Structure 1
Amino acid sequence: MIPHANARPQVESIVGALRVIDSTRHKVTAPHLSGAPYAAALDAPPDAARSRSGERLFMLLDLTRMTPAHRYRELREVFARIYWSETGSITAGLRRAVAAANRRLFFANLDIDPSERCVGGMTCAVLRDDNVFIVQTGSLQVYAFSEGRLERLSPGSSLTPLGMSRMADVRLRHVFVAPGDKLLLASSSLLQAVGEGGLARVIPREGLTDTLDGLEQIGADADFVALLMHCTTLEKASAARELLQSLSQLKETVRSRPEPAPELTPQPTPEPKPEPTLAEAEAALAPRMPEAPPYPIDLFQPSPVPPETERPVEQIPVRIVEASDEPPPASYKEMPEIVRESTPGLGADLMERVGEGARLGLGSIGHGLAAAGGVIVGGLRALPRRVLPGPERGARRPSRSVSRPVPEEDASKMIAIAVGIPILLAIVVIWAYQAFGEKSQFQSVIDQAKQAIEQAQSSGGVVEPARSHWEMALEQADAARALRPDDQVAIDLQTKARSALDQLDGIVRLSTRQLWDFGPSTVPRRLVAHGQMIFVLDPAGEWVARLTLNANGDGVVERDGNPFIVRRGQEIGGASVGALLDFIWVEPMGGRQTSGLLILEEDGAIVTYDPAWEGEGGEIQLSRFALESPPAAPVVVDTYNGRLYVLDADANQIRRYQPQGDRYPGRPENYFVDSPPRPMREALDMAIDGYVYLLYPGGEIHKFLGGKPDTFAVQNLPGDLSQAHALTVDPNGGSGAIYVLDQGRVLVLGPDGAFRAQFRADDVFDNLEAAVMDESTARLYGLSDGRLYVAFLP
């Protein structure tokens, strides 16, 4: 155990698995537990999400006895595929993966005979540095051993078995570990057979094999599976894995060697020196266990505390619907009929009880109404005799009734009654079921959201556990809003959880206003802002448009006009405009005399537009000139201090043109002194504010000054930049911030790459094509799905 969070050694692990059925054992100590379908120890594959790098995943499955091996492999593959592809937090990945495995097993059970259905337990752990994150479902038990103390991490009550319900019933835990600590995942049957006292005698043994042998000895009378993770240093773990692999191969070689024929006259031979056993080898590698401290040490506290001050074990509820009050059966060999219902706990017996109650209730109501009617009629008949004067007449004796023939039955009426009664009962049962189920489900998710918020607030400022609790609270609040969209309690919980996550992730939520709809395009458009003017270039549509903002900046003037100022094929100065590639606004600096819009054509020609100059009738005035030495394969254009920068993919350079008047007639300079770290042909975008920033696929950003690389490293970023496709700066802003366009958000990085904030605008930024930041007016302009938006920063 790591007593303080700031002491973070590199922790590695060796792992073994054991399965005992009918006193027959199956022990595996290979590095990845190959050959054990019920267990796995996996390293992050090469195609895993970047946030999963450096993690190790452990899985243990305990399903019903007749479960085929392919079902184990299927569940392991589903869990691993979902987890390794998750780009969010570790806890979010564990929740998604166990939910996917549960759904796969649940729907597989629906398609087979009830006697063949498979349910059980699943526990997985992720080791990252000195952190272990554990997810558990079913009745598997989890124990941690550290500094001479054995600690139970499992919840007090059993969870709904894996595959029995549509919704996964899971618990999450987080602990710190250190070399010498052990983590045991095992069946509850082992704990029932030996108790915690038996585990406390065996787990402290030195060596992985000795511990597994001890578990086999004390649990010989029980059927169970177990996975033991022994934390150690990187050097010892590597040596132990090589030794285990060598011994495993040696055993296979000896097992596959044919049995020699017995000799008629065996000759005595000297006994060879015995090879060291696996237990002896591991004992030599294992660290010596320290003596137990004078009082128990909590595995999850940063410093030792007396037992009376220990915190209770935190439990993180994950399931969305309320589980049945009845505990799961002790044995899963006989699985009850699985019902396709969204709310577990309301099964066939509840429908039967509701139907029986409705039938008896309707019958009792009918008999009562008939009896009450008879009493009222009799009283009305006797009332005149009691009130009018005269002698009291004796009671009339009923005369012998004359037998009458049985009246004929109306078959159609009887059929209607026979059909109507079951329909009425079905309606009553369905109504009661839905009303009760919806109310119960809503209250369940509300309670779980409140509990998750309490756990997040009591996490002590540790970011990762607090984030997982807030994510759980938001998930449950969203589920509550789906059931009752207008419920104020659910709205308040959702707002509270989202605000807390926004604060953890540096999210600034913006309100936007649509300015114009240009319609969809096949390629991303380009965007430039200058003062109250917005310019849009569409390379596929081959046009440039200008919009003028109103005084408030929340609308445009050209509502009914034509915003297009340049199109391909347009005649300017006796020449036709070519394919439009990119554009930029340039200021009168560095020898340039006027400001204006520079539009780069694919062949290197430049179209210029100065809004200050118009014809007598308000016509747009354009000019066009060719660069003296045009780039061979221009990609992106930018400007700084009046100079023109063009990224040339074929030349693997950035061409820099010096201004003369309002043109660039001279030969360009090469910006890079040496070859750039990555080819220019791979660059996605370029931005310049004195420094030159280049964006590459996968979110890689390079920074240069004077043609040489400068220090830049993206830090403390929530998530990754794998979907980044453009970046921009405000050269007149002075903040030095870089704005990176990612999937659904705009990230704000400092000049050294440190994360500052991220802008989100609900669904508006989901398909962001281009964005421009005007720091002087605190406005962010963005193009998304062909629509131009403006957002005002708080």
Structure 2
Amino acid sequence: MQRVETLTAQLALVEGTYEEQSDLIKLVEADALDATMRRKGQLYLLVEAHHTGPQALAACHIVRRVIFQGFYSDSSYSVTSSLRAAIRLANKALYEHNFKLPDEQRVFVGLSCAILRDTDLFLAQVPPTQAYLLAEGRLRALPTHPSWDPAHVSIAPFVRSGALGASLFIEPELYRCSMNSGAGMLLCTSSFAPLLGRIELDHALRQGDPAVVMERLRQAATAHELGEAHALSMTVTAVRKQALRLPRGAGRATSEPAERAGWLQRLGSAVLRVVRPQLDEPQPEPTAPDSLRQLPPQPTLSPKPIPRPPPIDLGPGIDEHYAQMRRKDYDTAPVRHENLPPSAFLGEDLAPGALKQPIDLGDPIALTPGRPYRPRYEYKPLIDMTWGERLSLPFRRTVLGIEERWRARRVRNSLPPQSPMLRGQGLTYRRLRAPIPWQLLLGLVVTVIVLIFYGIMLTQANEQQLAIEYFEVAEQRLAQVREAPNDAEAMESLELASQAIDEVRSSPTVNDTNPALWLRYQDLQREYERALAAVQRLNFLDNPVVLATHPLETGQFIDLVVPPQLVGVTDTLVIENMNHIYAVDADTRNGRLYRIPREGGQAQPYLTPGQGVGTAVVGSVRAALWRIDQVIAIDQAPNGFGYYFQSGGNWNYSKLGASEIWFPRDRLDVEEYMGNLYIWGAQPNEVLRFRSGFYGDPPDYWLDPASIAGIDLSTVVDMAVDGSIYLLRSNGTILIFSQGQLVAEVTPEALNPPINLVRGFSVTGVGPDDGYFFLVDTLNGRIIQVEKTSGRVIQQVKTRPNSSVHFDALTSLVVDTSNPRPILYVVNGNQIIRAELPDLPRPFRENDEG
């Protein structure tokens, strides 16, 4: 097993002054223990009272002294048993001390006590002190602070009944782990707990130096102006091995007495050899040379180099070879322009060269018919032609034949040409160009253009014919949907019709430039949507409008407040508030309340964190709602949750009673009914009710515990209130409560695809027997309208596939029923969308049934 040692460091800050040793820390390491106490292990203790003062310091000294004496004097061999006994003795001593004092002078103490025996660490924890352990490669906090895990069960505020000195019964929180090399521990007072983040503390403890941790705590205390703080840091490191002994003969330092002893010994040996040479000691054997300190034997080299082979004879060089070839070619080359002498260009004599054979002008009847000259146009072999040349070959031969006939007729009508004059080979003359066949080129261009237009028209006709065939197939399959005997066959026929319509849509001829096919496609699409609404109860939004987008690039909305239409209002401030809608930011740390014009526009911050309202400072806005004639905001500040309302156009503030103990995990849902506030998400599985006008008092627990026994409320994601309270689960089921009792549970009927993830809902009507539920199905990008009483699905609402607006991040919605036709206000990620609710689906076979 690897041997380890511990390094420790302390920090003591008393009334803003740093001290070397802390009165609240007890440190007992192995050097200060005898053999009997060493078997118990090393002790690291930090105590903290719930307030400061002389009485608090005296109480801490009592606890520290009794813990030390009780632990090491206990006869048990179990560290855990001895630690429990010592804590019970300290609690009893402090309780007796407090019993003699009046209530206002009694002190309650928390502690963090760690025992390190070999590599095993035993930790006892009593709040409000804080402990951090870096063991087995993982950082743990005891207890876990809200900044690390808001949902942890041990983050409740400090309760005096659980501290030392409050009662005769104490139950500390115990923890055990293995502390190997590289592990670390930090014991600190509660003032450091909210200042230490997981990442920075993990980095500091992994340095393996307690001084680094203390320096980080010192910086945090200075930055936050702490007046009282104490901390103890301990790290475990491996014991460094001793240096290896040098071999004999190596250079090493010797002490002065050793050198003197060696000199005297050598002198005595010399005297004995002179007096008694026969007793001389034998000569020491020569020691073998150290191979590590001498060079290896070097190879011997000969001064004569190895003879090299003679080079290969390659004959004359390449320059001489090319010169010989040029001379040979010049001598054997025929007479050409560059080989003629200058005198050849001065006279009219023929240049020397081979004589041409005369043409036989005899009777051509007995000769084989043939042309005495090469053809005007020569064709390549068919195998060497490209496909374009092969296709154009008949047209080319036809054109050349016509040209030959026209040329022959023209030659016969003209005078006979003069005989050509012999020209010397060495004389230069201007070369004549062949005439350009403009007529041929024009005819070829016209032919190509005609063929191109013909191909285009043929392609369009084929595509149009193919689109018409797809139209016929789609219409036949829609007719099969009407004639289907049951919903299963209707769904199958509808799927086939959808595939045919997709083929029609992909055809390039079906667009607004082809009115006949475009109008037919529009009619087919309407019939398909009608069949879809009748069979699957699926409707599409017509002309959805994006009212506003989030002003931040990565920001998103989470909730929306739409004021109702009030009649007879004359107050200009109320009218201005009603002409806007309000959106809540999804950021839980820096959430804002935005105001947006009802007809659309830019989202303007309406209430922001850090804004001063009276003596209060606005925290992160978590929820908003409409109450009577104004918008209300709920924020989360370090000292609890606040209630913000307006008076005369200015914000006012009131703290919600007992809200400092709320730790909402996800979304905080606040609803208002008859002046009362109902809150879901502040306490696990509970609805809190603040009575009208008493928002500063502690709330009531509205749900009846006996009624919800055995009911799973952990998946509830949203709440609505209209006299009854509706709780929505993530699977789409709705629990209806009245007077704190569960009265009904509504389950929507099965759909395809099924309902898997619902984020929110909106409730219309008055009471549980009137109106509808509108569910936000985030996973499938749809809004589901469900009947309140039976759970029957009325319709599903989506955006069209070709629409510029898509439901890809649905969060919540509000249904405004103050107009003749309900209007949907939808929160879709960073967008606020408004659209009219489609009409209810009509029966698809109503014509046949009528």
Q: TM-score range by the shorter chain?
A: 0.3 to 0.5
Using CA pairs below 8 Å that are at least 6 residues apart, which structure has the higher relative contact order?
1
The alignment's TM-score, normalised by the length of structure 2, stands at: 0.40
The alignment's TM-score, normalised by the length of structure 1, stands at: 0.43
Q: Which protein is bigger by CA-based radius of gyration? A: 2
